[in-house]
Structure 1
């Protein structure tokens, strides 16, 4: 009798384990069961899974991890599997496009584990139902998450932790606070609370729990500094004019194309990490194109256009040709530039120590003072805003 490889052995529906399988020289299987035998074409037999597969099939996350570490699995027929994989990937991609799923979800380790788990099941797997993913599977995942948090809670009791609050406003105008806990083991999301009727900070927690102390977010504080600086009359008026200029050009595609010809494809709008940083960085982009914008608004192309005859067009053109507009932009950049540099530092991927942030803040003040020739009257109000935060 020729012994079959281990992956050809199946235990199906409680069949007698003493039944043997033989393969003859013509590529047919002969199933011996009791006194009779039946010839079956092996190509028509579908491999099925049994209870033993549950014990010897590796967990999907383990397989994914080994693959990341460079482990290579043997294949029976690489050419065939390449075609099957192409078909499966095309089908899955079509589902992504149909459902509008973000492309970056492919990078999740959990996605690779899903593919591996489906592969372990084999052909004919019935997909989960709407009810399953909405109720029982969701509850099961919640239990898994709570079990994971137990390990974190043990770390909190041993080494302490930091309670982090992240405030934001949703589309319905509600003020929400997300609470997270950070420890050496990592950061865990705890709860989101509607605080529309309360202040959006942690001061009320300090009143109720004396052992807590409030440490504001460095990025948030810097953004508040820029916001307060933006309220200074000369800076506020300059920002309004700059945003009006920016909006007027970008809302008119043909005019935008003319501007790009004059600026050599350089843009005026520059998004940043925070709203007020975006305003100041946009001012910087406009200032860099000062000469090109002045050329555009004094060119024959502009003078012959319909926009030169509009009230709004005349107004934005006057801003560009106004010396005080550019002087106020320079003033705004002198006071905001060093602070935006600190903002980039604290909001980067690598978080510097808090002491280093305070040192960077002091250097920002030194840079501001130096830009005004150490004439204190020119930057005294700015320093008061910085020190208040």
Structure 2
């Protein structure tokens, strides 16, 4: 915008509020709709997929983004308030069916949604009533649910809980954060990622990387001479860092989550379609887990039961 104004030169008058709000906006909307015609031609020629992405905003309003994917590109169709639709499969079917008709049933190959129970029912209804195309659950959501179920295993759950306790203790105290950064060389322990459990993996990976630095900090005079070392919460954080089983369980956690998070990154990325790689990627992830435990099936049997489910 600024570059366009500069090219116009001296003497340009800014549009009035009404012009921006009505005629210029209408022109822009018409231009966008006109640009979609080439995509619609592509849909008719090669087929397309409707992708449904539900989320909740800060006001706890359920919103759903509808997108259409084709070999040409993915485009955004519409975002709607789906609070009245998202609770039951029948209502979701009505909503999704409306978008199928809008895109054109003859152009459709599949509908992609997450794995929520209402979406599963919607997908089955679509496959029953429109037999020539498919409902496909979102791969990234499937893997995230897989990680969530694995995260409920007691040993893993307790390890994540201790890591959260340690992180929370450090990061709500600016003085402790400053001390941590002096021991870690300005490195953080928290690394945000695409999902909550991918974040847990990257955070535990970072904690394990700084095991020696964390132990040095919690045994240093700088720590022991401060009031934090005498507080109950400080003693608890220190005990976690000094607990040998905490570190062995982190290694167990990383051996399982590492290969699965790599698959999650593959399917959640936008560089290339992942459908042609997902089955091989999951096989390689299982092979990596098997190898990391020295083919000792007892150590990963429960994990594979969750993955295979």
- If asked which structure has higher relative contact order (CA below 8 Å, sep 6+), I would say 2
Structure 1 SS opposite 2:136: coil
The range that moved more, 361-370 or 263-272, is 263-272
Distance 1:210 1:225, change over 3 A: same
- Superposed CA offset, 1:99-142 (max 9, x none): xxxxxxxxxxxx3xx6346634x533221122222222222221
Work out which of the residue numbers 107, 125, 145 in structure 2 matches 1:207.
125
Q: Give the conservation status (yes or no) of the 8 Å contact 1:165–1:202.
A: no
In structure 2, distance between residues paired with 1:125 and 1:294: 64
Q: Number of residues paired by the alignment?
A: 275
Which residues of 2 match residues 62-141 of structure 1 at below 5 A?
Answer: 111=1, 115-116=3-4, 119-120=7-8, 122-141=9-28
In structure 1, distance between residues paired with 2:138 and 2:51: 9
Work out which of the residue numbers 268, 274, 281 in structure 1 matches 2:195.
274
- Superposed CA offset, 1:144-193 (max 9, x none): 22222222222212221111111211112122221111123322211223
Quote how far apart the aligned CAs of 1:207 are.
0.8
Q: Give the conservation status (yes or no) of the 8 Å contact 1:287–1:326.
A: yes
Distance 1:352 1:126, change over 3 A: closer
Distance 1:130 1:333, change over 3 A: same
Q: Give the conservation status (yes or no) of the 8 Å contact 1:342–1:357.
A: yes
Which residues of 2 match residues 148-187 of structure 1 at below 5 A?
Answer: 148-187=35-74
The two structures, once aligned, show a CA RMSD in angstroms of 2.1
In structure 2, distance between residues paired with 1:118 and 1:217: 45
Q: Give the conservation status (yes or no) of the 8 Å contact 2:5–2:12.
A: no
Q: What TM-score, normalized by structure 2, do the two folds share?
A: 0.82
2:92 is equivalent to residue 190 of structure 1: no
Q: Give the conservation status (yes or no) of the 8 Å contact 1:338–1:368.
A: yes
Q: Give the conservation status (yes or no) of the 8 Å contact 2:193–2:202.
A: yes
In structure 1, distance between residues paired with 2:249 and 2:221: 28
In structure 2, distance between residues paired with 1:333 and 1:347: 20
Distance 1:371 1:230, change over 3 A: same
In structure 2, distance between residues paired with 1:261 and 1:145: 52
Q: What TM-score, normalized by structure 1, do the two folds share?
A: 0.66
In structure 1, distance between residues paired with 2:25 and 2:211: 56
User: Which residue is 2:171 aligned to?
Assistant: 250
In structure 1, distance between residues paired with 2:220 and 2:10: 69
Q: Give the conservation status (yes or no) of the 8 Å contact 2:201–2:257.
A: yes
2:147 is equivalent to residue 259 of structure 1: no
Q: Give the conservation status (yes or no) of the 8 Å contact 1:203–1:214.
A: no
Give the unaligned 5+ runs of structure 1.
Answer: 1-110
Point out 4+ residue stretches in structure 1 off by more than 6 angstroms: none
Give the unaligned 5+ runs of structure 2.
Answer: 90-115
In structure 1, distance between residues paired with 2:158 and 2:274: 37
2:216 is equivalent to residue 295 of structure 1: yes
Distance 1:198 1:178, change over 3 A: farther
Q: Give the conservation status (yes or no) of the 8 Å contact 1:118–1:125.
A: no
In structure 2, distance between residues paired with 1:174 and 1:198: 16
In structure 1, distance between residues paired with 2:123 and 2:285: 32
Distance 1:236 1:174, change over 3 A: same
- Superposed CA offset, 1:60-86 (max 9, x none): xxxxxxxxxxxxxxxxxxxxxxxxxxx
Between structures 1 and 2, the one with greater helix share: 2
